[in-house]
Chains A and B, each alone.
Chain A
Amino acid sequence: MLLKNTYNEFIKIVAKPRSYLGFGALTLLIAIIIFAMKADGETIVSFITASFEQTLSFNGKLVNGNLIAFIILQMLVVHIPLLVALVTGDLISGEAAMGTVRMLATKPISRTQIVLSKFIAGAIYTLLLTIWLGFLSLFVSHLVFGAGDLIVLNSDGLVILQEADILWRFGLGFCVAFLALLTVATLSICLSAFAENSVGPIVSTMAIIILFTIIGSLDVTVFDTIKPYLFTTHMASWRSFFEDPVPYDSIYQSIIVLLIHIAVLIGITLYKFNKKDITS
């Protein structure tokens, strides 16, 4: 029954026009970034490398597909949560708003299975969106700009990664980015169980992300103890794969924090939805 309803949920996602907003928006944004970098990329990069030019000399093509993919990922990972929440925030509350939750809950499928099937379908959607992001940023950037070594400006300084040493970093980076987006998806599904319309969960998800990001960026001692436990602190962990050496301990810690968030949020959703009186 879980698989059958997951299939149902996926059919619903595929049939909803809003599901394509994310793919459309990503395509448009990436096209704009690629166009901008093609037009003015060298100037932008030389502005960044200018401070190092007294001690380092750069040879070769700095504006290449790898750098563009990195920039795209850096810029969009902040915005993609909205595109994810747009679909996942509607998964339970949308059924309540339409009245179909009544029909669904009178079928011989447990409420736990209903929630889990929605979570799985939401996870598949998030994965597809991440894959689309990866495809456009890596494949199209390489087509337009070609390959090359990647220079990354970290807080510790400039890291130069060899061309042959990059693809696996992107692969694992996208996996961690997917986990971060999955946490956002789970948060919006959880909020969706408390709401009767889809606007509330979508707006609330973004509000929580913005709030936690502000708390994370504030240099206030009071917040130092909670910062490591906020999922937003770990949403940019994919970036750690572009450090040398890769700080695996920090990445594992981020993965654990994100997984705990996902598990707790699913638990809250299951509890709420199972206890909920469906009166709509």
Chain B
Amino acid sequence: MFVNIKVKPNFQTIQRFNCLVCMEKQAIIKVDRLAKNFGSFEAVKDVSFTVNKGDVFGFLGPNGAGKSTTIRCLLSLISPDKGTIELFGQSLAKNRAEILKNIGSIIEKPDFYKYLSAQKNLEIFARISGANVSAKDIAEMLDFVGLGNRAKHKVKGFSHGMKQRLGIAQTLLHKPELIILDEPTTGLDPQGIVEIRNLILRLKNEQNKTILLSSHQLSEIELIANRMVIINQGKSVVEGEVSSLLNSEETLVRIELNDAVKGERIIREKLNVSAVTQTAANELEVNITKIRVPELCKALIDADLAIHAIEPKRKLEDYFMKIIQS
């Protein structure tokens, strides 16, 4: 005898099912051939990328590349003209509300109701977050972002950094699985930037959150992202693991020394390294494996050269420029 059982799967069961079926990493965001025009202006032409569960995913591109438009499409602020967006294995177009329950976001800068207090603002957003957020949760979250003592203060008196922290609180309040941060450190002082960076790392390491991070701070992406995509002129140009894209075995070293010509010759002859360039009268740039950096220093010192400075150059910057210029 056959028993026909019809089960209407809910959102969570679909996610778990997807997780079990796919032995590989679960795709949290899947963007395929996204395109968006504003009148005759093609803001996004062909953007595709995949963000897996647990990724800190760097979203890079020069100004006007289409980053913000893509992120706004992901959050249903903008309707794409072409392409598909899947979040948590579900079509954004069909399951918008269910999907957005699991997303926390800051787009460019967090804006709040200036005439309301920090606490009231969080209450307002918590009420429509789709989760049960208690007053205790709000108080704890304000403490977490260091605004516990300003809970009752109106937002109009807050600095940019404080608003940014309140934005982070609003993003995390309903315990979302996916966090989308569009330029979260813009306008912050160095301390604020470090705080946000540490917070992102904590969210990844302690809570295994998936984070999509769009930033102009390439060093930031290099430090915290494990995967990235670079988009340029509305198209995704390259996507992959940060370490493999940057070939983390190698490093670019900038050396300031008293005789750059002699230094270049020593490096080429003694170390047999050809990727050495004189960038200024007393400056060299050497592409070398990390393990050989002590050997490089020793060779220069043995040749009686005075080393005034030696520092690793951010590889992502070079890689980014190379990709964008090509």
A105 at the A/B interface (Cβ < 8 Å)?
Answer: yes
B305 at the A/B interface (Cβ < 8 Å)?
Answer: no
Do A105 and B97 have beta carbons less than 8 Å apart?
Answer: no
Give the segment of B122-130, B138-146, B246-254, B311-319 that binds chain A: B122-130
A48 at the A/B interface (Cβ < 8 Å)?
Answer: no
Give the segment of B101-109, B190-198, B268-276 that binds chain A: B101-109
A120 nearest CB across to chain B (Å): 15
A98 at the A/B interface (Cβ < 8 Å)?
Answer: yes
A44 at the A/B interface (Cβ < 8 Å)?
Answer: no
B112 at the A/B interface (Cβ < 8 Å)?
Answer: yes
Do A99 and B120 have beta carbons less than 8 Å apart?
Answer: no
A103 at the A/B interface (Cβ < 8 Å)?
Answer: yes
A1 at the A/B interface (Cβ < 8 Å)?
Answer: yes
Do B127 and A5 have beta carbons less than 8 Å apart?
Answer: yes
Give every chain B residue within 8 A of A275 (Cβ-Cβ): 79
Do A105 and B128 have beta carbons less than 8 Å apart?
Answer: no
A103 nearest CB across to chain B (Å): 6
B131 nearest CB across to chain A (Å): 9
Given A108-B129, A109-B128, A277-B77; A103-B110 close (CB under 8 Å): yes
Residue count of chain B within 8 Å CB distance of chain A: 32
Do A12 and B116 have beta carbons less than 8 Å apart?
Answer: yes
B98 at the A/B interface (Cβ < 8 Å)?
Answer: yes
In the complex, per-residue mask of B152-179: 1 if CB is within 8 Å of any chain A CB, else 0: 0000000000000000001000000000
Do B113 and A278 have beta carbons less than 8 Å apart?
Answer: no
Give every chain A residue within 8 A of B120 (Cβ-Cβ): 11, 15
Give every chain A residue within 8 A of B76 (Cβ-Cβ): 105-106
A145 at the A/B interface (Cβ < 8 Å)?
Answer: no
A153 nearest CB across to chain B (Å): 45
B90 nearest CB across to chain A (Å): 13
Given A16-B115, A99-B109; A277-B79 close (CB under 8 Å): yes
Which of the residues B72, B105, B116, B127 comes within 8 Å of A15, measured between beta carbons?
B116
- How many pairs of residues, A versus B, come closer than 8 Å at their CB atoms? 81
A108 nearest CB across to chain B (Å): 4
Which of the residues B72, B111, B127 comes within 8 Å of A4, measured between beta carbons?
B127
Complex CA distance for A172 and B303, rounded to whole angstroms: 102
A90 nearest CB across to chain B (Å): 12
Complex CA distance for A277 and B113, rounded to whole angstroms: 21
Give every chain A residue within 8 A of B111 (Cβ-Cβ): 98-100, 102-103
A269 nearest CB across to chain B (Å): 18
In the complex, per-residue mask of A99-127: 1 if CB is within 8 Å of any chain B CB, else 0: 11011111111100000000000000000
Do A106 and B116 have beta carbons less than 8 Å apart?
Answer: no
Complex CA distance for A7 and B109, rounded to whole angstroms: 26
Closest to B68 in A: A279
Give every chain B residue within 8 A of A109 (Cβ-Cβ): 97, 128
Contact size class for A? 20 to 34
Do B113 and A15 have beta carbons less than 8 Å apart?
Answer: yes
B324 at the A/B interface (Cβ < 8 Å)?
Answer: no
B78 at the A/B interface (Cβ < 8 Å)?
Answer: yes
Do A277 and B78 have beta carbons less than 8 Å apart?
Answer: yes
A17 at the A/B interface (Cβ < 8 Å)?
Answer: yes
A43 at the A/B interface (Cβ < 8 Å)?
Answer: no
Complex CA distance for A104 and B111, rounded to whole angstroms: 10
Closest to B117 in A: A15
A8 at the A/B interface (Cβ < 8 Å)?
Answer: yes
Complex CA distance for A11 and B122, rounded to whole angstroms: 13
Residue of A5, A11, A103, A279 with highest tally of chain B CB at under 10 A: A103
Which of the residues A12, A102, A110 comes within 8 Å of B113, measured between beta carbons?
A12
Give every chain B residue within 8 A of A16 (Cβ-Cβ): 115
Give every chain B residue within 8 A of A279 (Cβ-Cβ): 38, 72, 77-78
Q: Which 9 pairs between the two chains have the least Cβ-Cβ distance?
A: A99-B111, A108-B100, A278-B77, A108-B130, A108-B97, A106-B75, A277-B78, A108-B101, A107-B128
A binding-site residues for B, Cβ under 8 Å: 1, 4-5, 7-8, 11-12, 15-17, 98-100, 102-110, 275, 277-279
Name 15 extra pairs, CB < 8 A, besides A5-B128, A107-B100.
A8-B124, A11-B116, A12-B116, A16-B115, A98-B113, A98-B114, A99-B111, A103-B112, A105-B76, A108-B97, A108-B129, A275-B79, A277-B79, A278-B72, A278-B77
